[in-house]
Amino acid sequence: MVKVATMTIPPEFENLLARILAHFDQMCYPTWASRMFHTTRSAKARNLEKTYIPGVRAVWSTFTLAQKAAWKAAAGYTGYSNYQLFTADYSYRKKHNLSLPGTPYTTHQLYGLKMSNPLGTSPIRIRIHLKDLVGPIQIQFNYKKQEILPTGGDPFSFTATAYYFDAGLNLTHTKIWTAPAGNVSWGSVSETFGNAQRSYFHLVIEITLDNYAAHVFFDNFRVSDGGGAFYSDSFNKKVGEEWDYYPFYRKQGWAFDPAFAAPNFEVVYLDE
C-alpha cells in the first residue's frame, strides 16, 4: 500500500529545495543534446508545450487520400508538406478556439499580408524592390478585398516599373493593374510585361490603397522572369514570431508607407 504524506515548506527553504531538486533532475534525466540541455522539470514542461499537439494525429488518420491531397495542393509557397501544413493550421485553430479541423485553400495558406486604410483619408503604399531580372517579367498574387466604404476615386492598384539601359539611355517599361470596384473574395492576379531577353537592373512594384477605406489581404506573391521563379513569399511566420521580411536596401527589399505597423500593415491568420 502506498503511503502519501504532505508537508509545508517554509519560504526560507524553498530556494534550497529547488537547488536540491535541480541536482537530482540532472542525475535522473539523460542528456540528449550537445547544447541547450533540457534537463530540468521546468525545461521539460516547456518543451512538451512546444511539441505536444493533442489530437492532430488522430484527426489526420481519419482523412481520405483526396483530403490529404487537398492539403498538399494548399501548401503554396510555404515549403510545407500536407501534414506539416495541417499541423500548423490545426495548432493555431486549437490555440485560438476556432472550429476544428480547418479547410485547405489553394488561394491562401496560414498567413497573409493585410494592407488596411481604415479611415480612407491617407495614402497607404507598399513598394517591392528587386534587381537584375531578365524579361519578360510576370507578377502574380492572390488577394481578398473588403470595402469599408464604396470604391472612391483611387481604387486599389499596382504600378510596376522595370528599368533598363539602351543606347546609353536610362529607360523604363511600365505595367499598371487596377482592381475591380467592390468587394473581392480571393481573386488572382497575373500580369506580364517587358521584352524577352531584356536585362532589367531594377524593378519597383508599388501597391497603393490611397484614400480608399478598405482592407486588402495578400498571399502567394510571386515574381518570375525569363529564367523562371525569381522571388516568392507566402508571408509565413513561426509561432510567437513576426513575418521576417527584407527591408529596402540598395534596390532590394520591402518598403512601407507609413511604417510597417498595425492597423495599416500586419501579417494575419487567414481563416477563409
Instruction: Quote the pLDDT of residue 194.
Output: 92
CATH of domain 111-269: 2.60.120
Domain ranges of the chain: 40-104, 111-269
Nearby residues of 195 by Cβ (< 8 Å), 6 or more positions away? 135, 136, 173
Distance CA 133, CA 197 (A): 9
Per-residue confidence (pLDDT) for residue 29, from 0 to 100: 53
Task: Quote the radius of gyration of the chain (alpha carbons, Å).
Answer: 25
Predicted local distance difference test score (pLDDT) of residue 50: 57
| Count of alpha carbons within 13 angstroms of residue 192, beta-carbon side | 9
Q: Return averaged pLDDT per consecutive 10 residues of the chain, 272 residues in all.
A: 71 82 66 57 64 73 89 80 85 80 81 88 92 94 90 85 92 94 89 93 94 90 92 76 82 91 86 70
Length of the chain: 272
- Phi first, then psi, for residue 265 (nearest 5°) are -140, 135
Task: Measure the CA–CA gap between 200 and 227, rounded to whole angstroms.
Answer: 13
Give strand ranges (E) for the chain: 111-117, 125-130, 133-134, 137-147, 157-166, 169-178, 184-193, 199-200, 202-208, 214-225, 228-233, 253-257, 265-269
Distance separating alpha carbons of residues 155 and 143, to the nearest angstrom: 14
Residues in Cβ contact with 125 at an 8 Å cutoff, skipping those fewer than 6 apart: 206, 207, 208, 209, 210, 256, 257
pLDDT of residue 35: 57
In this predicted structure, what is the pLDDT of residue 153? 73
